[in-house]
Amino acid sequence: MTGNEYLMKNYAPMAVCFEKGDGAVLWDTNGKQYLDALSGIAVTSLGHNHPAVTRAISSQAGQLLHTSNLYSIGRQQQLSELLCKKAAMDKVFFANSGAEANEAAIKLARLYGHNQQIENPQIIVMEQSFHGRTLATLSATGNRKVQAGFEPLVQGFIRAPYNDIEAIRNIAKNNSNVVAILLEPVQGEGGVRIPDSDYLNQIREICDSNGWLMMLDEIQTGIGRTGKWFAYQHSAIKPDVITSAKALGNGVPIGACLARGQAAELFHPGHHGSTFGGNPLACAAAIAVIESIDNEALLARCTALSELLLTQFKAELEMLPGVKDIRAAGLLMGIELSEDCGELVAQALHNGLLINVTAGNVIRLLPPFVMTDEQAMQLVAETSRLIKAFLSQKQTA
């Protein structure tokens, strides 16, 4: 492979280079086959080369790619209605990535505050959260590694421990400048952390009694990943703002900031924008994604596959000392070990399997919804084998 010397060293990619994909399978440039249990980090939930998405992109490319938001965009209007209905939100702003969707949410919250004469609006954010790499979103992120070297950080964020309602109540008591709370319904990068079942309900109550916007970062959890369109839909509440990206375009870059009620009416011409956001190509892809999830009953498939994987993984691994927890919110799955296990990623890749390790010691699996039962069993067998070998080698070391 040539060309690496011209790329900035943002990443430390593994040497493998994929050339082709189909469903949950990838092939590299040497023709070696892999099983994909990462989905490009929760992006290609419909698998690679999904026929309806490929068709929609090809057909749109042959018609019109881009005109700008200076004109009405038919595909964008079509997608806005579809997406708002799935999210139970009133209005949407389209961006090109997750970080940009969160930037829009952060700007909404500040505008919401300024409209109430709060000159120094504050947003509550969580420890171990991840919201992106732009200046505002890395400032909102609860991970020093993401922030270090990029100070001064953007102000206006107050940090709280995740899944701790008392901490939020204390902030409410002591700070009258809070205008919103921004959190992930399940923390993905933070280690597949699933909060208590009434956590979102209680956050909603606090937001209501204090007049705060409840803003959910559903960039990783949305578009079916947890078995519902959005993870918040497992609870009875509705947030005021939701951000989406990752799986929304199944690989075509698109992000969205959705809002409801008062929050949906805050932006006016001149407040915020994007040259590319919501262009016909990206919207055509996202429309095909949403329609395919419906047409192929992929939410139900996600739930069934999650149950199969969870049962099988528990049967293989639950009793092992060194395996702390096995948990899943749909097909956002975490196997937590008692020690750091980053080396498993390269070992798996060598054996033809794409997995991820996050927060040091949590094996994160994000398989596509179209993975077959047979492929799922292969995933369980291979991952369990690697974990067992890893643990026994640690014990004898």
Which residues fall within 8 angstroms of residue 180, CB to CB, at 6 or more apart? 109, 112, 113, 121, 123, 124, 207, 212, 213, 214, 215, 241
> Which one of 21, 121, 185, 188 is in contact with ligand PLP (CB under 6 A)?
188
Interaction of residue 36 with ligand PLP, rule CB under 6 A: no
**What one-character-per-residue DSSP string does 109-172 give?**
HHHHHHTTT-SS-EEEEETT----SSHHHHHHSS-HHHHTTSPSPPS-EEEE-TT-HHHHHHHH
> Which one of 200, 219, 256, 333 is in contact with ligand PLP (CB under 6 A)?
219
User: Catalytic annotation on 93?
Assistant: no
Count the Cβ atoms, other than its own, within 10 Å of residue 151. 7
Closest CA to 115 of 230, 14, 211, 236: 211
**Catalytic residue from among 86, 228, 238, 246:** 246
362 touches 191 (CB < 8 A):
yes
Binding range to ligand PLP, per CB under 6 A, among 10-18, 127-135, 258-266, 384-392: 127-135
Interaction of residue 292 with ligand PLP, rule CB under 6 A: no
Binding range to ligand PLP, per CB under 6 A, among 77-85, 87-95, 124-132, 233-241: 124-132
> Which one of 98, 222, 239, 368 is in contact with ligand PLP (CB under 6 A)?
98
Shortest Å, Cβ 57 to ligand PLP: 19
Residue 360 identity (one-letter amino acid): G
Shortest Å, Cβ 378 to ligand PLP: 26
User: Catalytic annotation on 246?
Assistant: yes
Residues of span 65-84 touching ligand PLP by CB under 6 A: none
Shortest Å, Cβ 152 to ligand PLP: 21
Task: Report the alpha-carbon distance of residue 22 to residue 17 in Å, rounded.
Answer: 15
User: Catalytic annotation on 28?
Assistant: no
Q: How far is CA 289 from CA 31, 52, 217, 283, 313, in A?
A: 28, 8, 20, 10, 29
Residues of span 330-389 touching ligand PLP by CB under 6 A: none
**Catalytic residue from among 36, 86, 217, 313:** 217
Backbone angles phi, psi at 212, to 5 degrees: -95, 155
Binding range to ligand PLP, per CB under 6 A, among 156-164, 184-192, 313-321, 381-389: 184-192
Q: How far is CA 93 from CA 78, 256, 369, in A?
A: 13, 6, 27
Interaction of residue 217 with ligand PLP, rule CB under 6 A: yes
Nearest residue to ligand PLP on Cβ basis:
98
DSSP class of 367: -
Binding site for ligand PLP (CB under 6 A): 97-99, 102, 130-132, 184, 188-189, 217, 219-220, 245-246
